[in-house]
Structure 1
Amino acid sequence: MSDNIDALVRALPRLFDGLLITLELSIGGALLAIVIAITLGLLARFKNVWVRGAARTVIEFFRGTSLLVQLFFLFFVLPLPPMNVELPAVLVGILGLGLNYGAYGAEVVRGSINSVPKGQWEATTALSMSKAQRMRRVIFPQAWALMIPSLNNLLIQLIKGTAVVYLITIVDLTAEFNNLRQATGDVFFTYTLALIVYFGIAYAFSGLMTLLERRAKRRLGVGVRPAPVAPDEKKEPAA
């Protein structure tokens, strides 16, 4: 065990560098995914059949193909003629994660918007709101509170998905743990530690999403406890 600890101490600087890469992939991929999810989720509700059809095609394509194959395509195929587009490995990882999980998130966005009670839609019509005002001021804030729990699950899956990005030559946390395993020769020690670290990352991000959900509900007045009312004082009998 002492040999394992010594190897871990020597590997800490590299593990920290790998952790930074994993966080960069997680945060960058999550931000891109939410932008894609909201954009495609809204476009998938358009009445125009061409716009809606294009959005559905993109969603189904990235949901129906493997994240690993998408990463390989972006990293190995794009630089080839006639495209000749060569991207940094980290950017490829962010793009792959954002496109893949953004497609899943688009269904969450669309479903959450459809779940807003019909009365809310009718109220915006009665107030003569434009479509943009209706969505921005009434519908989307309510849908946002509904979609956060599902987006939280997707965020955790995205963090775990970063573990496959090292296959396109990115030296992330998983790659550094593999190097640690080779240095120690102890599979149990290395991957138990890796599980704990990844759990800590996912738990921290999940806590932030929970705070975001509470804030969204508080702004809507949902789940807010009413202020306590003081009990009526006993009236003294009249003289």
Structure 2
Amino acid sequence: MEFLIDRLPLYLGGAWVTVQLTVGGIALAFVLAMFFGVLGTARSGLLRAVSTVYVEVFRGIAALVLMFWMAYALPLLTGFQLDGRFAAILAVGLNVGAYGAEVVRGAINAVPRAQTEATIALDMSWAQRMRLVILPQAWAQMLPTFGNLSIELMKATAVAFLIGVADITAVAEQMRQATGETVLAFSGALILYFLIAQVLIFGVRLLERRANRRLGRTPPGGRGLLALLRPPAVTASGGAK
């Protein structure tokens, strides 16, 4: 324990870098997932094809290889050297965004057809239908999987030290080489990754409760801190309560 306490500032510095990579990657992945996911539900075959190309290309490329390509191959082609952190964010964001796009597309398609027909009968524009009716319902279905993808993205950033990013894993490796304490050095990294994951889980649970409450699915007494820590209840129809 003394080993970890003495080196806590170094670990916290690495944790801050990991948080930056995670937040940046999640932001990029979310924008890409929403854009290409909605595009994947368009009536136009060309737009659906564009979405499919993005999803299949970046879902089929390993995040680590894409990270290396961004950091080492892209500068050779363009003459522009990306910052290591930015390269890592691009790699994990593009990769996870492709998985997220399929989640968005599936959630939108899962909204009952009668809802869409009702909006058409009310003469709503496409933008109004998506903003007011379809996306609010699809959003509640997306969130659990988005939470899983966010945690996977955070864990994927652990390889960013291979392109020179001083994240948690880099600090743990430096401590191992400097002290020879392999178990203690990487135990500190394990603890920090676990804590970051718990924060992400809590945040997603909060968003789930809020989304379900807006749809009238909040169970009685489900508004306190303990309710946020509990997984959302599942109804007989398969939806979260």
Query: Is it true that 1:66 corresponds to 2:62 in the alignment?
Result: yes
TM-score, scaled relative to structure 1: 0.88
Tell me which of 59, 76, 81 is aligned to 1:80.
76
Query: Is it true that 1:52 corresponds to 2:48 in the alignment?
Result: yes
Aligned ranges for residues 141-152 of structure 1 at < 5 Å? 141-152=136-147
- 1:79 alignment partner, SS class: helix
Matched AA of 2:166: V
Query: Is it true that 1:95 corresponds to 2:90 in the alignment?
Result: yes
Tell me which of 157, 165, 175 is aligned to 2:160.
165
Question: What is the CA-CA distance between 1:119 and the residue it aligns to?
Answer: 1.6
What residue in structure 2 maps to residue 30 of structure 1?
26
1:138-178 CA-to-partner distances (Å, cap 9, x unmatched) read 00000001100000000010111110111111011110011
Matched residues in 2 for 1:117 and 1:135: separation? Answer: 13
Question: What is the CA-CA distance between 1:12 and the residue it aligns to?
Answer: 2.2
Question: What is the CA-CA distance between 1:224 and the residue it aligns to?
Answer: 4.1
Question: What is the CA-CA distance between 1:116 and the residue it aligns to?
Answer: 0.7
What residue in structure 1 maps to residue 35 of structure 2?
39
Query: Is it true that 1:132 corresponds to 2:127 in the alignment?
Result: yes
Question: What is the CA-CA distance between 1:44 and the residue it aligns to?
Answer: 1.3
Gaps (5+ residues) in structure 1? 227-239
What residue in structure 1 maps to residue 184 of structure 2?
189
Matched AA of 1:50: L
**Quick one: structure 1 residues 118 and 152, their matched pair in 2 at CA, closer, same or farther if it must change by over 3 Å?**
same
Matched AA of 1:42: V
Matched residues in 2 for 1:92 and 1:61: separation? Answer: 18
CA contact (8 A) 1:36 1:102 kept: yes
Identity of aligned residues (%): 46
What residue in structure 2 maps to residue 230 of structure 1?
none
Gaps (5+ residues) in structure 2? 222-241
Matched AA of 1:75: A
Alignment RMSD = 1.5
Tell me which of 101, 104, 115 is aligned to 2:99.
104
Tell me which of 145, 148, 173 is aligned to 1:178.
173
Question: Which aligned runs of 4 or more in structure 1 are off by greater than 6 angstroms?
Answer: none
Give the structure, 1 or 2, with the largest relative contact order (CA under 8 Å, sep 6 or more).
1
What residue in structure 2 maps to residue 202 of structure 1?
197
TM-score, scaled relative to structure 2: 0.87
Q: Which has the larger radius of gyration?
A: 1
Matched residues in 2 for 1:189 and 1:78: separation? Answer: 37
1:11-30 CA-to-partner distances (Å, cap 9, x unmatched) read 22221211110000001110
Question: What is the CA-CA distance between 1:204 and the residue it aligns to?
Answer: 0.9
What residue in structure 2 maps to residue 16 of structure 1?
12
CA contact (8 A) 2:85 2:165 kept: yes
How many residues were matched structurally?
221
